Amino acid sequence: MKGIELLSVFFIAIVAIGGAVARLLTVGGALMAFFVGSSVWIGLGLDGLLLLATFFLTSSFWSLYRRDQKSESAQHIEKGEQRDAYQVLANGGWAALFALYGTLFQEEVFYVGAVCALATANSDTWASEIGVLSKGRPIHVFTLQRVPRGTSGGVTVLGTVAGGLGAATIAFLASLLEIFSLEAAIVVFLFAVGGMWLDTLLGATIQRKQRCLICKNETEARIHCGQRTVYLRGLKWMTNDVVNASAIGVSAIASLYIVLLT
């Protein structure tokens, strides 16, 4: 193994271990992060690591930013602040898959899908973590009624703008790194934003919802107020991780298809 390759693997391992030590990742999440990071590196090299690091560091920053003001939204989400293996796979699995495809089949167009997957994940994370800091409560995408912060399907102007900036950060950084053209970056940006909205729509319609028998609140969590919650509506297998993976996969595949046609 060459020196630069050894340093790259060491860097991926340090980031994964550091995430676990900082309690941003569970042990399983750290192991999955190492797998995703290694796959992206194999496909996209150091440029891919830079994109992945940008996603991980910025999403972690926004997750921790003004944490004390996010207590209301935390009551409605399925998992805590530590990302587990399923969350890491849902957000990074498509990027890893397309990066490996690009290398295996020697087709750089697959890298468009890999970058779009990261851009969509970044867009959704920025929208969620920054949107809950909006002064006004979010509006449900279908009912147009005010809903509690953290409610699936709730949107704010702040969150929407943040999501667009998150998508642009990854898409146009990839263009600057010459992974693909500016035209392809625009396609990636548009589909990443579309993926963010698809995530919202799926969350508002078919994502599984539970009800807490203690506080009577609607939540994604199976355990709330120290007690097991009961099924309320939605597809029972459609967890938040499945919603994230579905939205990211659709946006990545669609962007790849459009670039192939142009």
Query: Which tens digit of pLDDT belongs to each residue from 14-54?
Result: 989 999 998 889 999 999 999 999 999 999 999 999 999 99
Angstrom distance (rounded) from CA 56 to CA 245: 16
pLDDT grade for 226, boundaries at 50, 70 and 90: confident
82 has a pLDDT exceeding 90: no
Angstrom distance (rounded) from CA 170 to CA 86: 22
pLDDT grade for 77, boundaries at 50, 70 and 90: low
1 has a pLDDT exceeding 60: no
76 has a pLDDT exceeding 60: no
Angle at 96 between CA 129 and CA 58, to 5 degrees: 25
Q: What is the pLDDT of residue 3?
A: 67
DSSP, residue by residue, 144-180 = --B--TT-TTEE-HHHHHHHHHHHHHHHHHHHHTTSS
Q: How far is CA 200 from CA 141, 159, 160, 218, 246, in A?
A: 8, 11, 11, 17, 11
Stated pTM of the model: 0.92
Q: What is the pLDDT of residue 219?
A: 85
143 has a pLDDT exceeding 60: yes
- Amino acid code (one letter) for 226: G
Query: Which tens digit of pLDDT belongs to each residue from 229-258?
Result: 999 999 999 999 999 999 999 999 999 999
Query: Which tens digit of pLDDT belongs to each residue from 105-131?
Result: 888 899 999 999 999 999 999 999 999
Q: Are 189 and 172 in contact (CB under 8 A)?
A: yes
Which residues sit opposite 209 in a β-bridge? 233
Angstrom distance (rounded) from CA 182 to CA 33: 29
Q: What is the pLDDT of residue 79?
A: 58
- Amino acid code (one letter) for 125: T
Angstrom distance (rounded) from CA 256 to CA 262: 10
